Amino acid sequence: MIDSSTATDLIHYGVTALAIDLFVPGNILLGGFSDLRTSNGTDISGVAGHPSMYGYQEGVGENAQFYGISGIGQITTTKVVVADSYNKCLRMIDRTTRSTSQFSGLCGNDDSLFMKPTDLKLDLKNGSQLLVADDEGDVRAVDVGTGSISTFAESNFSCSVKGLTQDKAGNVFLTCGNKIYMISYCTRRFTVISGADSNGFTDGSLVDARFYLPQNLFFVANYTLLVADRLNYKLRWIDLSAGTVASSNACRGANDYCKPSSLLLTDDALFLGSDTDTMQKFTCQYN
C-alpha cells in the first residue's frame, strides 16, 4: 500500500496527464488530450502537438495535431508511439526531430481498423508486436515493423476499454467499463476478474468489489495489480492470490479529487497522472 500523505506535486503546469511513460531515467513523457510533453521532474517542455489545438495533422513540434492521446509506448531509443483515440489510429513521434507520422490505422478516417485505441503495450511474449486496447472491449495486435493490424482477442460485449497490462505469463488484463477482465494468452478467452455492470465503491473479495470507471493498471508484484479507479478518486490494489481488493487515497488531502488516470512505476517511485492538470510522485514504501 501507499500513503497519500507522502505524495508530492511533481508537475502542475496545466498538464492533463492522461498517459505517462518513462523514456529514459529521469525523463518522463506526458500525454495530454492534444499534445505530448516531457519533463525531468522540474522543468517541462513540449515534444509534439499543442495543448489548445486538437485535430489531425502531421508535422513538427506544435505544428502537429492530436485528438485524444490516451496511451504511450516506446519502441526504439528514439521512436515513441501514441494512441490517438479520436483520430482512430496510432501515431509515431521521433523524439530527436519532434516530427510525427501515421504509424498504424487510418488517422481521421472512419474506415480505420481501430474503433478508438486507448492504451498500448509491447507484448511481453512477442516483442515484434504491440498489444492495443481498442474500444468495444477488443484487443488488437500491431506489428512493430510495419504497423499492420490484426485482432489479438475479440470480445462479445461492449464497453469502453481504458487500460491494458500483462502478467509474466503474457495474460492480458483490461479495465473495461466498471470491470477488470483477464484474457488468456493461450485461449484468448475473456474472464471477469472483479467489478460489475454498475459502478460503485466496495473493497473486499474480488466478487464483491466495485469500481467506477477504472483507467490504467499494471502489476506491482507477481499477483498484485494496481488500478487507477478514476471516479472513486482511489488507487485500488487487487491481490489475485488472496482474491481481495483494497484501496489507497490517490491524492494528498481528503478534498483533493485528482481523478487518477495514468500510472508509471520506476525502481524507486510511483507516478500518478490525472485529468485535473497535475501529476504526483509517491516516494514511500509499497508492496
pLDDT at 107 over 90: yes
pLDDT at 11 over 70: no
148-162, 176-190, 254-268, range with the lowest pLDDT: 254-268
Residue 70 grid cell: 490516451
User: How far apart are the C-alpha atoms of 12 and 8, rounded to whole Å?
Assistant: 11
For residues 156 and 173, the answer to whether their CB atoms sit within 8 Å is no
Report pLDDT for 260.
87
Q: Summarize pLDDT for 55-74 with one digit per residue, the tens.
A: 999 999 999 999 999 999 88
pLDDT at 1 over 80: no
Residue 256 DSSP one-character state: -
Q: Map residue 215 onto helix, strand or coil.
A: strand
For residues 206 and 193, the answer to whether their CB atoms sit within 8 Å is yes
Report pLDDT for 254.
43
Report pLDDT for 255.
45
Report pLDDT for 264.
82
The set of residues, in sequence order, having a beta carbon less than 8 Å from that of 206 and lying 6+ positions away, is: 193, 194, 238, 240, 243, 244, 245
Q: Summarize pLDDT for 19-51 with one digit per residue, the tens.
A: 666 666 567 888 888 999 887 767 788 899 998
User: How far apart are the C-alpha atoms of 103 and 148, rounded to whole Å?
Assistant: 9
Answer with the residue of higher pLDDT: 156 or 197. 197
> What's the chain's average pLDDT?
86
Positive or negative torsion for Cα 229, 65, 15, 28: positive
